[in-house]
Every structure is written in C-alpha cells, then in structure tokens.
Chains A and B, each alone.
Chain A
Amino acid sequence: MLPLPRGYRLVFEPVLDRDGSGRWRLLRSLASLGAAFAVAALVLTAAGVDAGLAYRQIFTASFADVPALSDTLVRATPLALCALGSALAFRARLWNIGGEGQLLVGAWAAVGVVLHGLPASTPRPILLIAMLFCAAVASALWAGLCALLRLWLGVSELLSSLMLNYIALLGLRSFVFGPWSEGGFGLTPQLPRSAWLPRLSDLAERVPACRGLTVHLGFVLAVLCVVFFGLVLSRSRFGYRLRVLGANPQAARAAGLPVERDILWALLLSGACAGLAGFCEVSGVVHRLSDRFSTGYGFTALIVAWLAGLQPRWILPAAILFGGLLVGGQELQPGGIPLLLQGVVLMAVLASEALLRSRPRLLRPEAGSSDEPSGASAAATAAQKSDHSEDLP
C-alpha cells in the first residue's frame, strides 16, 4: 500500500485502449526496453562490469558491420516467424505459448521428409518446398491439438500448448537418440546439400562481398510471412473476426460469427508459422536435427510479440533487436544478462498493458460520509424532526 493521507484512495479506473495500434504502444515498448537496459546496467555495475562498455560491445557484435548484421538476421528469422505465430493467436486472445514445441515439430517434419520421404536426388526447389510444406502442416496439426482440446473438452490452450512443448522436446529426443541418431549421439546425419536453404555466402564466388555472410533465404520467407499475415490481420474478414474474438467473444457469438472455426484456424496458422521457423533453422542454419538446436526461440518470441504490441509491422524490428541481443550477448559476462534483459522487457511490457487499460486516479474522501460524529448528529436531528411529525396526526 502506498502511504496516502487518511481517507484518500488510489484506484485504477478502467479506460478503453484509446490508441490501440498507435504511438502509445510504441512509446510503451520503448519505455519497457529502456527500463530493461537500466535494470541490467545496475546488475552489470554491481558485478563490477562497465555497463556502457558492455552495451557498446553488444552493439558492435550484432549491428556494427555487415557480417555481424547478417548473423543477427539469422537469429531474427526464427524469432520473427515464431513471434508472428504467437501474435496471430494472441490477437484473438488465444494464449498459444507452445511456439517452442511447434518449432521443434516443424523441424522434425522437415528433417523427416528428407531422411525418409524423398530421395536425396530430388531437385533442390522441390525438396525445399516439400520440407517447408511438411514443417508447416505438422506444426499446424500440433497446435491444432490445443484447439481441439479447447473446443471439445474446454481445456485452456494456455496449459495444453505449454505442456505440448515438453512432449515435443521429449519426442524429438527419442528420434535423435533413437532411429535417426548418428552413432548414438543426439544428432541426425547432416542433410544433403540439396536440402539446404541458399545463403548469401553461396554467392561468394561471383560477389566477393558476400563471403562469410550466413543469412539465408529463410529471412526472406520471414519477411514475406510478416507482410502476408499483416495483411490478413488488418484487411481480411478472418483478421477482422479474430479482432472481434479478442475484444468480445460473447458479441462474436451473438453476431453469429463462426467462433469455433476461427479458433481452430487461428491456432492452426499460429502453429504453421512456428513450424516454418523450425524449417528455417534446420535447413538454413544447422543442417541437421539435434535436441538442442533451438535456444528457446519459441519462448523468446513471446517477448518479441508483446514488445511489438502484437502488430505484425513491428515484429521484424523487435525480432532483429532481440536477434542482436542473442548474438551480442553470447560473449557477455555474467552470462545471464541477455536472459535478464528479456525477462525485464517482458515484465515491463506486460505491466504496462495494465496501464494502457486503466488510469490511476486519486480519490479524495467523500464529504460527510466517512466521519462518525457528523453522521450521528444528523441522525439525531432527523430523530427530532420525526418526533415532531408524529405529533401532527
């Protein structure tokens, strides 16, 4: 409790989110970032590190030159795709936090179709498209499980999607240590070159500037997806229905909107986006499946999605920023700092959500209602009056 003068009360009055997509959200996100960096600076200073120097080094390692930027974009690719998937579901107030599991299932399906489905001699474009397709469908179905559980049994998708993360990880482990293992390690054999997404460094022979640039075609895919789903959310009937569903599901039902179908599709598409992220990682970066190729992209993406205010157009900048933090934070000591930053950003963004929806107001004590003596005397005078009135008849 705040120390307030007697009788005063601090209340949070609900207000409508006046400028939902506008500058308040942007300001809020920037303030959250600022708060996160300030808190992390305190921790760094307490650990005896020059925070300014540390931040400069993070920046140098992630954004200062073209190769660094390329690494950052590589990291940003799965973040953007997963964040897009989360944002899609969150818009409709469907709490799909199973992005990590869906990413793993997507990667599993993409690798599976190469190892068992198609011969290694398949032409590259066909193989890549098959991988992409399988990853998206498998992850969509994985997320669809949450939708079915919710629609049939009323299970909260928040719990089911979280739990499915662990099932996905353990299932993946059973494959990479079991049937798909190479020599008993937790790794599959390397994928054939035809299953690799083209990188900029592939052009190094013709364009020397591209030497060592790891950024791959998956980033283009991520940009296309962001544009596509941005349009879907803002300009399609489906996107409109998701917005209504998020704002007031009861009104959506009363208006006869296909609520059940939309919930199913929102979660399917949300899962598919995360699956594409898994495909990009195995095909564009690691080129094989292991049980620890993802460094929690699906979870970090939740923060990216909130930082972007669930707006597709802000997802790319937010993902690139966080990709940079992942790249630059690798070298940072103490090693927990990047995680700390992520945590504080999420806390600050979520806390400010409450501020967007309510306005603090200080209430003064009401005149005459709370103080005892005057009320009693009022009762006394009223009693006198009524005595007189009883005499009248």
Chain B
Amino acid sequence: MSTGSLEVDLAVELRDIAKRFPGVQACDRASLQVARGEVHAVVGENGAGKSTLLSILGGLYAPDSGQIFLDGRAVRLRSPRDAADHGIAMVHQHFSLIPKLGVVENVLLGQARPWWLSRRVYAELAERLAQLSAQHGLPVDPRRRVADLSVAEQQRVEILKALYRDARILILDEPTAVLSPAEAEQLRQVLCSLRAAGRTLIYVSHKLDEVFALADRVTVLRQGRSVRMAVPVAETDQGTIAAEILGERSPDTAGAAGHPERSGTALTVDSPPDRPVSPVLRIVDLHASGPLGSEALRGLSLQIAAGEIYGVAGVTGNGQRELCDVLCGLRPLRSGSVEMNGHSVASLSAAQRRKQGLASIPEDRYAQGCAASLSVADNVLLTHSDRPDLAGCCGLLVSPKAIRAFVQRVLSPLQLPESIVAQDPPAGSLSGGTLQKLILARELAHRPTLLLAAYPCRGLDIGAMQTVHRLLFEARDQGCAILVMSEQLDELVALCDRVGALVRGRIVGEVALTWSAATPAAPLCTPPAAMTRLGRLISGLAAQDPKPEAR
C-alpha cells in the first residue's frame, strides 16, 4: 500500500474500516485520508466498496471494525444525524428530497429549529437560501416545489441543504451520473467555489476524466481495500489510475474458467461463422427519457445478429433500465428506431412484441419477474397463459392436467428437486438462483428470436450462474439473439460474442470476442484485453484510447 504525504492537516481519516454484508465483504480494512479544504476523489469499480465506505462516514452504517477520526479526534457516528452534528453531509446518488414539498421545507427537513414556521421565518429562510445559491452559483428558486425541479436543480437543493446546515465536509456519491455534460461542468464550478470557501469535498466517481479535472487527490479502492491512498492527481495519470482500478487480472481468472469454449485461448475458435448475419435487433439513434424526465438514452445504436450474445457493459444508471423498458414496450421512445427482424416495433405493445419473438428476463426478479405469493406453476404460466394447448375439454377453461404437463416440460431442463415440482410452493420461497432459473426456463420456452437478459446472474451462486450461462449458450446455439446486461466485465467477456460499453445513454465503444461478419467494425480482442478496453470505455477514457489492443 503506498501512502501519500501525511503531514497535511487531515479533516477526515478512516482507518482500517471493515464492513461485511451478508455474503459480501464490502470494505476490507479500507482507509481514507482527506485533507482540509481539498477535493478528494474516491474511485473504483462497482462493488469496490466506495459507497459503503462513505456511507459509514455519513453515519448510515456502523463499521464492523476500524476507526473514524475527524480533525484528529476519534469519533463514533451512530446515525446520519450524528454525522450531521459533526459537520458531515452526504449528497446521495438518489436524492433524499420529498417531491411534494417546496425547496424551503426540504431544506428544513430534519432540522430541530425553528420549531414554529411563520411567514417571516419562511421569508428569512428563502432569503438565506438565495444568498447561499448566489454565493456558490447554485441557481434554484426557493419557492418552487421539488417535484417541479429538474434533476440538476434537485441536486443543487441537496447541496444547498448541506450548506444551510453549514456542513464542513460534503460527500458527493456519483454526482454526475444523473447530469448532462453541461450540467456536470456547472457542478464542477460549484465544487471549485466550495473548495475556495474552505469546505472539504469527498467525491465518488467512475469517470476518471472528471476526477482529473476536479480533484486534488485521489484514493483508489479495489475489492474493499485502498490500493492507492491520497495520490495527488498532479503526480499521476489516468492510465495508471485505470490500471489500479482494474488491478492485475490474469487472463485465466478473467476468462471465467467455468466455460471451456471461452478460456484464455478464445482466439483459436476463430473459424468463419456459418451463422446467418441479418440483424435480429437493430436500434438506431434511440432517444428515451428516464424516470425523472431527463434524457436517459441519448442516441443509442446497436445491432445483434441471430445466434449472437451481445453484452452491455456499464455502470448502472447509464440507461440500462430505460433500454430494457423501451425494448419491452414498457416505456415510449422519443426518437430513433427499434427494429426486430426487420420490422419496427415502436408502436407495438408489450404483448405484441412477445408474439413477435421477444422474451425478457427482468432486472428485478422479485418485483417484475414473478408473483411471489403465487405458486411455481402459476409463475411458469405467467407469460404463457394464452397458450392454446392448455385448454381443457370445454375450451373456455384451462385443464389442470395440461398445465401440470406443461410446467413439467418447461422445468425439466433445470433438474430441480422433485419437491418443487410436486409440492408447487409459492415462488417467493424459492432461492434467488432457483427462481432465476425458473424465469429463464419460462422465457426460453417461448423459443424467442430475441432474448433480453438484464443482470441475469446478479446475486447468484456459482452453480446457478453456470446453469444460467449454459441455458443462454444453448439458446444462442439455437439461433436466438441475446442481449445481456451486467455490471461484471468478466462475466460479459466470458459470455458474449460482442460487448458494448453503455455510458450516459450511448454505446461509446464495442469490442468483439469472436469473429462475426455482422460487425466488422468492432476490434477483436482477447478476453483480458477486452476487459481492459471496456474498463477504460466505462471510465470515460474512450477519447484517450482510440486504438484497439491485441489485434
């Protein structure tokens, strides 16, 4: 572990923080040293422990072990309020504002004083907020309702809230993830102004270009540990930091040993494909809005051929959910085109798209993928309820016997325990892995031409993951085009024929792992090279790195 200069005046020091959540060691003796009045960036991959570490500083979680020092004194932060009393404020990625209330009410929220809100108090507060926003360049009208504000304005309210409480230490968790480039630039100026006013800023980000434009020093977390601590940005460069973020992944571990056909020697299976090359899915210049009305997809284009697995890599929140919803017909598109098998599907409903051969594995298997209180059989039927072969003798009614046979047929490739088929328990009582296998089997039973799999292995153990991968490979070999989204680069590289990096609603670059005539543009990479390149693309380094590696 290399350590930066220690003689500076430390505002915050986290020492050897460990925090374990069920099944995952989020922080593994991570440390952080932040000097007073600096902008300190914390970078790392998804799941590197950044958010956890800073939530501990924000008083949201108590660490299992380790210490927190503020201005050199050891403190215990039992709650967010405790942290606020110590002058720490956190601006979350998902804002903690109440949409129905006005800006002033939101700023007052959780404040003990004033206990009586007269008109005069409101006027004074609005005045004070106006003053603060003028001082730091945070234009917000204090009289408006939060629900009527744009995302960027809501973020300004969060920052104003922190300033109103006179927070000395501001933690910003991925502040630019929800902002357009122009808004991000505005935010950068605000943060510079705050630094000039002597406040300490801790800035979490995936985007190295932003970090290098703004931060004084940077700490890199990897797998819950601080691998580089408090490096002045002037003394390093983006390439070094990007390498630190990814660590040294050997080709063997990167290539996911579970899949013999895609080990480190992927390039040897480079035979010319005898697969058809007409695209099953063609998306051109797709624009769509996100949940808060902001533009989540900004000109996304991609193509997937039959018998191809296409991966979408990227940090969650860059448009993954919107892309899924638009493809499934659950969200309208603003402009651009989506074609399945050569026909536009923009005007089709979710049910009509399914009839055209679309199947999907939703991101949240409990909220969208199943009805937890209904039985396994009912959940298998979820997307099959109008199959004609389930009808009983009267035509109108369905036959329980036919349903049982159908459910058994769908579940048979999974080799589930007998009891699940026999007792037909509620789907919610299955383990996450079993449920995911069930959903996948259900969707594949449609024999889809296009399968959408959002985070198909999230939270699964190795066994379930391998079954999911096996089923996806089988579907691909039968000619299904598959779109997989995942946060795990190694999983995507092991699974996909091609991977695109989704950043701020666009595919900013692609790598190919197998040769395909459909996509001559994407550079062909070995799995480790693909991981490095994707990691850079995701971190916003695409501009610095135009040449494909390991051709």
| Binding partners A and B | yes
Chain A residues packing against B (C-beta within 8 Å): 16-18, 20, 231, 235-237, 240-241, 243-244, 247-248, 250-258, 369, 375, 379, 382-383, 386
Known: A236-B398, A244-B382. A253 touches B371 (CB 8 A): no
Known: A244-B374, A248-B372, A254-B330. A231 touches B397 (CB 8 A): yes
CA distance in complex: A375, B78 (Å): 12
Contact with B373, one of A17, A241, A252, A383 (Cβ below 8 angstroms): A17
CA distance in complex: A251, B367 (Å): 7
Known: A236-B397, A243-B374. A254 touches B385 (CB 8 A): no
Known: A243-B378, A255-B382. A235 touches B397 (CB 8 A): yes
- Return 23 A-B CB contacts under 8 Å, by A number: A16-B429, A17-B373, A17-B426, A18-B426, A235-B392, A235-B397, A240-B378, A240-B398, A243-B371, A247-B371, A247-B372, A247-B374, A251-B382, A254-B328, A254-B330, A254-B362, A256-B329, A256-B350, A256-B351, A257-B351, A382-B66, A382-B67, A383-B67
Contact indicator A237/B382 (Cβ below 8 Å) = no
Q: Is B396 an interface residue (CB 8 A)?
A: yes
Contact indicator B369/A251 (Cβ below 8 Å) = yes
> Given A16-B372, A17-B373, 11 more contacts at CB 8 Å?
A237-B386, A244-B385, A252-B371, A256-B354, A257-B385, A369-B62, A379-B74, A382-B16, A382-B66, A383-B67, A383-B74
Q: Which residue of chain A has the shortest Cβ distance to B367 in the bound complex?
A: A250
Count of A-B contacts judged by CB separation below 8 Å: 89
CA distance in complex: A231, B396 (Å): 10
Q: Which residue of chain B has the shortest Cβ distance to A231 in the bound complex?
A: B397
Contact indicator A248/B370 (Cβ below 8 Å) = yes
Contact indicator A248/B367 (Cβ below 8 Å) = yes
Contact with B378, one of A16, A244, A383 (Cβ below 8 angstroms): A244
Q: Which residue of chain B has the shortest Cβ distance to A236 in the bound complex?
A: B397
CA distance in complex: A235, B368 (Å): 24
B71 CB → nearest A CB, Å? 16
Known: A16-B426, A248-B371. A253 touches B66 (CB 8 A): no
B residues 31-85 with Cβ under 8 Å of A?
62, 65-67, 74, 76
Contact indicator A382/B65 (Cβ below 8 Å) = yes
Contact indicator B374/A254 (Cβ below 8 Å) = no
Chain B residues packing against A (C-beta within 8 Å): 15-16, 62, 65-67, 74, 76, 328-330, 349-351, 353-354, 360, 362, 367-374, 378, 381-383, 385-386, 392, 396-398, 400, 426, 428-429
Contact with B76, one of A235, A248, A379, A383 (Cβ below 8 angstroms): A379
Q: Which residue of chain A has the shortest Cβ distance to B384 in the bound complex?
A: A255
Contact indicator B429/A251 (Cβ below 8 Å) = no
CA distance in complex: A251, B435 (Å): 14
B373 neighbours in A (Cβ, 8 Å) = 16-17, 20, 247-248
Q: Which residue of chain B has the shortest Cβ distance to A247 in the bound complex?
A: B371
CA distance in complex: A248, B65 (Å): 40
CA distance in complex: A369, B67 (Å): 15
CA distance in complex: A14, B296 (Å): 35
Q: Which residue of chain A has the shortest Cβ distance to B15 in the bound complex?
A: A386
A231 neighbours in B (Cβ, 8 Å) = 397
Contact with B351, one of A248, A258, A379, A386 (Cβ below 8 angstroms): A258
A366 CB → nearest B CB, Å? 11
B353 neighbours in A (Cβ, 8 Å) = 256
Q: Which residue of chain B has the shortest Cβ distance to A393 in the bound complex?
A: B3
Q: Which residue of chain A has the shortest Cβ distance to B67 in the bound complex?
A: A382
B279 CB → nearest A CB, Å? 23
Contact indicator A241/B374 (Cβ below 8 Å) = no
CA distance in complex: A72, B465 (Å): 61
CA distance in complex: A302, B378 (Å): 27
CA distance in complex: A251, B330 (Å): 12
Q: Which residue of chain A has the shortest Cβ distance to B325 in the bound complex?
A: A254
Known: A16-B426, A235-B392. A244 touches B371 (CB 8 A): yes
Contact indicator B385/A241 (Cβ below 8 Å) = yes
A248 neighbours in B (Cβ, 8 Å) = 367, 370-373
Q: Which residue of chain A has the shortest Cβ distance to B354 in the bound complex?
A: A256
CA distance in complex: A255, B369 (Å): 8
CA distance in complex: A256, B386 (Å): 11
Q: Which residue of chain B has the shortest Cβ distance to A240 in the bound complex?
A: B385
B433 CB → nearest A CB, Å? 18
B422 CB → nearest A CB, Å? 16
CA distance in complex: A382, B328 (Å): 53
A388 CB → nearest B CB, Å? 13
Known: A243-B374, A257-B385, A383-B67. A16 touches B428 (CB 8 A): yes
Contact indicator A235/B382 (Cβ below 8 Å) = no
Q: Which residue of chain A has the shortest Cβ distance to B381 in the bound complex?
A: A240
A235 neighbours in B (Cβ, 8 Å) = 392, 397-398, 400
B477 CB → nearest A CB, Å? 26
A383 neighbours in B (Cβ, 8 Å) = 67, 74
CA distance in complex: A258, B371 (Å): 16
A63 CB → nearest B CB, Å? 35
A252 neighbours in B (Cβ, 8 Å) = 371, 382
Contact indicator A236/B383 (Cβ below 8 Å) = no
Closest 9 CB pairs of A and B: A247-B371, A256-B351, A256-B350, A248-B371, A235-B397, A254-B368, A255-B383, A16-B426, A255-B382
B401 CB → nearest A CB, Å? 12
B396 neighbours in A (Cβ, 8 Å) = 236
Contact indicator A386/B16 (Cβ below 8 Å) = yes
Known: A235-B397, A379-B74. A250 touches B368 (CB 8 A): yes
Contact with B398, one of A237, A243, A257 (Cβ below 8 angstroms): A237
Contact indicator A254/B67 (Cβ below 8 Å) = no
Q: Which residue of chain A has the shortest Cβ distance to B6 in the bound complex?
A: A390
CA distance in complex: A250, B330 (Å): 11
A278 CB → nearest B CB, Å? 27
A250 neighbours in B (Cβ, 8 Å) = 367-368
A258 neighbours in B (Cβ, 8 Å) = 351
CA distance in complex: A18, B426 (Å): 7
B382 neighbours in A (Cβ, 8 Å) = 244, 251-252, 255, 257
Which of B350, B353, B392, B429 counts the most A-chain CB atoms under 10 A from its CB? Answer: B350
B354 neighbours in A (Cβ, 8 Å) = 256
A18 neighbours in B (Cβ, 8 Å) = 426
CA distance in complex: A16, B16 (Å): 40
Q: Which residue of chain B has the shortest Cβ distance to A18 in the bound complex?
A: B426
CA distance in complex: A16, B426 (Å): 7
A51 CB → nearest B CB, Å? 39
CA distance in complex: A359, B396 (Å): 39
B213 CB → nearest A CB, Å? 32
A236 neighbours in B (Cβ, 8 Å) = 396-398
Known: A16-B426, A235-B392, A237-B398. A253 touches B330 (CB 8 A): yes
Contact indicator A256/B383 (Cβ below 8 Å) = yes
Which of B330, B354, B368, B429 counts the most A-chain CB atoms under 10 A from its CB? Answer: B368
